[in-house]
Structure 1
Amino acid sequence: MANDIKSGIGYIIPAAAILGYVLALIGEQFLLAIVFAVAGILVWFLYLLVMESHLPRVTGNIIILFSALLAVGVFFAFGWEVDMFGGVTVRPEGSLIALLVFLFGVMSGILFNRDRARQSELTEEEKTLVKQALEKSQTDAAATEPRVIVVKQESKPEKKEEPSPQAPYYSPAMMPYPADYYDEEEDEDEYEEEEWEDEDYEDEEEE
């Protein structure tokens, strides 16, 4: 923003030079018009150099404009003269100098615009600011980026349920009930046999 203000204020210098040039031509002060043309472009470049302002995009066009003004001033000053009969005589030397001034001015402006188009529009200071802004944005993005923390937990070995122990002689085909059922029946049979034996023993004693 400050750079644009400096460049805008700098345009006052060539505008004032053009105004003085026109007034000098109207007053037929052709040498003064040449001075205004040369001083206007020189002072403008010095202003941009001192204020450290970047050259605007129309710099090449301004160079061409002031070269044209300078060529016209040279032509009016040295390219023609009024003879004793009131006629106008063209001086070839002055006309040639005016054409050369205009030629070199146009070439300088065109080359300046061409080099300007190749170069980057950003100055070194602006490039530094852009680089700092990019680094800051990357740092902020890295700071606000959500992070996922993975915690690895050791899985406990699963306990396998072992089948309840069964009697080795258990067979579903032969014994449809569990072995405990048959153990209870055997106990009852043994108990009944013992009772029968006790009764037989008592009968023998009575006899």
Structure 2
Amino acid sequence: MKQPLEIVLATRNPGKVRELRALLAGWPVVLRTAADFPGAPEVEEDASTLEGNARKKALALHRHTGLPALADDTGLEVDALGGRPGVHSARFAGPGAGDAENRARLLQELHGVPDRTARFRTVLAFATDDGVLCFEGICRGYILEKERGRGGFGYDPLFVPEGETRTFAELSPAEKNALSHRGKALRAWLAFLQRQTET
């Protein structure tokens, strides 16, 4: 990529913004966030799929700002819970619940359950005048019986990725980004951008 690309991140989640900024370090990309644009819409994440929510957020911010917009929706899919909380991960313990309440509900539902396998899945949507493209990243692992670590956000203190003994919350940001669902989705998007500039 030769000319810096100005894009807006369709999120106000400081954890996501921090991760995305770290993942894009060294790329000629100027990142703005929804908070930089007064009147930017608060998009209700009421779609039935991660892709639906990501597309909805990216399109809304693109239309509001006129800039290419990047949005993601991420879900924790737990095998023993039939894929829940999935698209409802951020609201698992109910409307207005925070990360701690969501983790507590997850532990409650998995109490005494031997199968702890799960995966994080991110769908990243990129909206431009040409339409919306989606990129997916998956990280498999398992859920602990109690929290460990102080880093990250969301379900990170409970999730151990495959090939690791530490939770996402115990990994450094660079270690997490190398393994994470969001990192994989973003690298797929960056590979797309790279191809676009080479054609």
TM range (shorter): under 0.3
RCO greater where, 1 or 2, for CA within 8 Å and sep 6 or more? 2
* Higher CA-based Rg: 1
Q: When you count helix as a share of all residues, which structure comes out higher?
A: 1
Q: When you count strand as a share of all residues, which structure comes out higher?
A: 2
Q: TM-score, normalised by structure 2?
A: 0.25
